[in-house]
Structure 1
């Protein structure tokens, strides 16, 4: 009996370049999400104005991501499906990161806000171009879902490495100890982003060809596809709720500075988070061979909600208690962050299997849109913090902030802690509700993928599914 060999369709160089890309992309995303709010607030722009501008940018996202998803499915370059887009992204993402964080100091507050809004729109646009094709690329590199899960889970860890490096390096650079401006830090990190994101465009191979035409659907069919793909809806409803309420990153540097005496404390927080994640990462591939991916994800998401509430209750009286609780939370958080975007290929396979429409560009555009939509956590955090009489700040770095000795009221600090821990805990708990109705499992997704690739018939796949979909 002939057996399909699919465990290693990709080469070592391809996988390494794929993970390298995620490291660079993770640096870009984490630098923006982790530093942008602090950077803007230290430019003297009012909380409400910053929050309003961020929301306005996301309205553009509602159009640009969908538009690019359609373009991605309609435009087929001779040199490949995903790779040509990635060659554009590897240059434009670093360039736009530099522009966002180099607002000229001589501008008025209104002009600064306009510079930010326009540059942020452009950054979001090029980030979409970087995000949709890279996730689709894994479906073109290999048709085996186990290999995809392995590649994507390690890619998520690579993105976390980029996040960790960025948080550590950038925090030190702009802290009272480093004294760098945010603009200088952006230039240094942008160079690293380019070097890390470039190799995949020249090393990866698009070897998987689907059996149906991926660009043969109308806008009405596209909408019907989204409506009919219930698992895409349910998973990304969880993802959006949990992400939008994760307001911690918007205020993390201020939490470190005002509660624990130095912005550098956030680097200790990153270490406390990174150690359990680093211990977990090498075991993930082995764990997924024995445990269904979604089941592991669900219970980790539940544990994340609970441990975040523990961090809130632990308070700010002891740095070491705070770090210990953060380390405890990082165990389920590491699982969630490793697996959270590995479900899009699954819902793509389900969508094609159930509807016959290969609208992967739309599915990955929804993923990209959701990933950027959750940055509404920043304006949400600012809106809530604004209810607690936060005092505006004008400083280029935490070194300047320390010299000026700007303090905040007890009311403002209480609001800061609520935004940092209580709101994320509540959001993580509420987000579990749609996951209760997500039923795809690894066994069934592999059958769907095999049918979609033409190695078995749809009837053969349906006969072996664990449930009726």
Structure 2
């Protein structure tokens, strides 16, 4: 079975909606609760890490639940729509702390809301990505769907990173607390509409013969026996840790380092260039490189390109170009373009590990494998946000939770520390990812094609036997 053009478009719109939600949470929760509401950065980071690790540990179970689901509406759609509605409600609560709440009450509100947000997001994210290997057994079709999904997810992420700060200032009339509440409401509504459209348009294939109901123990056994899935998972953890450290710190960098009355404009422009660059990487550069290079080669080039971009940003800062938005944007191009291609490639690699696992065990476990994608993204973001929070306190960054719009001046030592956190730590994570990938990844283009052909032959033989 193949997706029609209409279904592909709906799938892409679904990716836009869900990644708008994820980007708002991943990039602005730390800032909202630390800088706007005044909680300790280390406390916020610790709660975020604990909540995400707790939620991530439940993701494989959600994958098993989805795999066992069998309703007249399909395997994926009931969870996709139900999880979306619940997550939208919790998102609004997360950015709508009651006025006057502080201290222990604020801490409890934050912890409970964030845990619920993570659980409900998992409910819809796992079935969304599990559709890719379930809907087609053609490697090229999967790659196309991965590009569509990741490209549109990049659009959703870009919309949030580009417009949130300006929208908060405009909708809140200068009061960030009010602005974030309004932005969360708008994003939640758009999220529900996007996923409702996807659920209405999509047609699920029958997977009765491909995915047998097994025990949780058997699912986990086969998952951890899939060495290529585990290599891909570890690589995703390292790459996403680098990404989320940057995404959590970049707003502080522009507010307190670049500074000035136009810091919001500069921040918006930088993210606009970054968002466009990510989409360019996914839709233009990746397909172009794909004509000449294997996926594993492109992947390594992207890691090196991203590390180069971080090094150039640090160089721009130490040479006095931190306030030059053009210079910063040019340096950032390397990071953003590379990240756009990396998000596509990691999804393609995970899809390949589904075939690899089926060849080993005889079972297709899309939901279990792709639950690991949600698992590792949350694990990476949890680790990154804890490092971010701890780092902000260690460098002595003072929060800016006043209501009159005055920006707190930071010391030179704090600014230097902020620059180092934002560049050196991501480079270390990406370097480790490169080493792990080079030493352990075996699913080259040639090997993936061999596995796909072998599985087709096996299924054809089973059909003849029946």
Q: Same fold (TM over 0.5)?
A: yes
Aligned residue pair count: 446
Give unmatched runs, 5+ long, in structure 1. 1-5, 460-469
2:281–2:338 Cα contact (<8 Å) kept: no
1:380 match: 387
- Counterpart Cα distance in 2 of 1:54 and 1:334: 25
- Counterpart Cα distance in 2 of 1:245 and 1:274: 17
Q: Does 1:242 align with 2:239?
A: yes
- CA displacement 1:29-49 (0-9 Å, x = unmatched): 111111111101120111221
Query: Which of 77, 91, 97 is 1:97 aligned to?
Result: 91
- CA displacement 1:254-282 (0-9 Å, x = unmatched): 11111222133221111222343444444
Q: Does 1:345 align with 2:351?
A: yes
Give unmatched runs, 5+ long, in structure 2. none
Moved over 6 A (4+): none
- Counterpart Cα distance in 1 of 2:89 and 2:445: 39
Q: 1:242 to 1:278 in 2, by over 3 A?
A: closer
1:22 match: 15
- Counterpart Cα distance in 2 of 1:30 and 1:112: 22
- CA displacement 1:276-313 (0-9 Å, x = unmatched): 34444443445435532232122212221222122122
2:192 match: 194
Q: Does 1:394 align with 2:401?
A: yes
- Counterpart Cα distance in 1 of 2:372 and 2:190: 28
DSSP 3-state at the match of 1:106? coil
* Residues 200-209 or 269-278, more deviating: 269-278
1:228 match: 225
1:135 match: 129
* Residues 129-138 or 218-227, more deviating: 218-227
Q: 1:334 to 1:443 in 2, by over 3 A?
A: same
1:3 match: none
Query: What is the aligned-residue RMSD (CA, Å)?
Result: 2.3
- Counterpart Cα distance in 2 of 1:444 and 1:309: 35
1:464 match: none
Q: Does 1:148 align with 2:142?
A: yes
DSSP 3-state at the match of 1:199? helix
Q: CA deviation at 1:317?
A: 4.7
Superposition pairs of residues 423-434 of structure 1, within 5 angstroms: 423-434=425-436
- Counterpart Cα distance in 2 of 1:435 and 1:274: 26
Q: Does 1:448 align with 2:451?
A: yes
2:31 match: 38
1:238–1:433 Cα contact (<8 Å) kept: no
2:350–2:370 Cα contact (<8 Å) kept: yes
Q: CA deviation at 1:92?
A: 2.0
With normalisation by structure 1, the TM-score equals 0.89
1:171 match: 165
